[in-house]
Amino acid sequence: MAGFTRAGAVLGALTLAASLALTGCGDKQKKPEFVGGAGSSASAAPGATDPSTAAAPSGTALTLSPADGTKNRPVSTEISTTLPDGAKVSEVTLTAASGGTVEGKLRADGSSWVPSAPLKWSTRYTATLTATGPGGTTSQGTSSFTTMAKPKSTIGSGLYLFDDKTYGVAMPVVTEFTPGIPKKDRAAVQKRMFVKTDPPQPGAWHWLDNGTQAYYRAPEYWKPGTTITVRIALAGMPLSNGKYGNVDRKATAKIGRAFEMKVDNANKQMTVYENGAVVRTLPVSLGAKRTPSSSGTLVVMEKKEATVFDTRDDPDPANRYVTDIQFAQRLTWGGEYIHAAPWSEDKQGRVNVSHGCVNVSTANARWLFDKTRIGDPITIKGTERRLAAGNGWTAWSLSWSDFVKGSALPVPEGGSGPAL
């Protein structure tokens, strides 16, 4: 995609869980529920023809991308040009043949103008871009193009964030793709995944190796009271494997108070913090040596006041059982939970006897269940197993320096700002 440039220089899973085959004491793996939504991309569809965009002197006509007369553009198309020296984009107008005007915004780096929703299939659009120079001189360009027909081959996508919900301070933005995004496409896809936080906080994306999930987080837990606005703008975006993004997904959610749980296998105690202060210490029983709990920073993903753990399909006969469970809070896709375990209350604080879960008394399980939110963190240390990447929302189990290595785009020191 051509960008807004000066003199030619650019302006500044779940299939994954099944493959893990980890021991857990929980119920069978649960499929995610995806939020629906609405998008755009700079990549050209097969058959699209973009011209070279030589710099235009101030006061002359600008050459836009897509070029005038271009056909078969994806509905993720963005509007761009090469700017005269010292000029800035002052206005972009995009209208459909029917006369409807398309809303949109400039990217934070000024490289292109992004429609706020996917364009329509097989529709003719006219773009007009106006740039203003240092002395007030204006340059303008106009281009008409037509979008492609709706493709038959698409990817599935999901967003684990819901409108008007309040989450814990460790809630990552979690996206999922089925099939996974090919490595060579991840930078282009990541450019279409927008996150804005209020108050502003730096952040970055991290891809799992197989491309089925990407997480967005800040260097530290979110500030309590933060509003997170997300747009995964992939509708109609072409990928190298011949598939296209299926839909845009959007959500705006809140972050609540700071609530954190820390478990130390050395003393088999859970210390609970609220807004930085210790509010309770609970005895626990973790996974026995043959079925250890995962050490790392995990996130509460799901809560069930009552459920049934059914592990009769476990390949190890010693791990097969059916048990009614109260106050269950899922931590991994492999089946690790915090839950009430009245049968192990005499062992809690002394011996590890679970199949990988964090066992607490019924009274303590009820108290925790009433206090926690989806997205609250629990850090477990000192067990015989490390938390596997992607076995749950594992964004916080990496240091910030290691986390940013999983980004498909360069991350400025401290993290990137809002993408749109």
- Written as six digits, the tokens of 114 are 């992004």
Residues 6 or more apart in contact with residue 330 via CB below 8 angstroms: 26, 30, 300, 301, 302, 303, 304, 336, 337, 392
The distance of Cα 387 from the centroid of its chain, to the nearest Å, equals 20
β pairing state of 294-299 and 385-386: parallel
206 is catalytic: no
Contacts of 315 (CB under 8 A, 6+ apart): none
What is the Cα–Cα distance from 183 to 12, expressed in whole angstroms? 25
> What's 379's DSSP letter?
E
* 355 a catalytic residue: no
Options 25, 206, 339, 355, the catalytic residue: 339
CA 122 remoteness from chain centre: 30
Name all contacts of 187-190 with Cβ < 8 Å and 24+ positions apart. 187/408, 187/409, 188/41, 188/42, 188/43, 188/237, 189/234, 189/237, 189/239, 189/245, 189/408, 190/214, 190/407, 190/408, 190/409
Among 25, 206, 355, 357, which one carries the catalytic annotation?
Answer: 357
Chain position carrying tokens 């290595």? 405
One-letter identity of residue 299 = V
- DSSP character string of 178-222: ESPPPGGGHHHHHTTEEEEEES---BEEEE-TTSSEEEEE-SSPP
Count of beta carbons in the 10 Å neighbourhood of residue 178:
14
Nearest Cα residue to 411 out of 233, 217, 249: 217
Beta-bridge mates of residue 259: 274
Residues annotated catalytic, as ranges: 339, 357
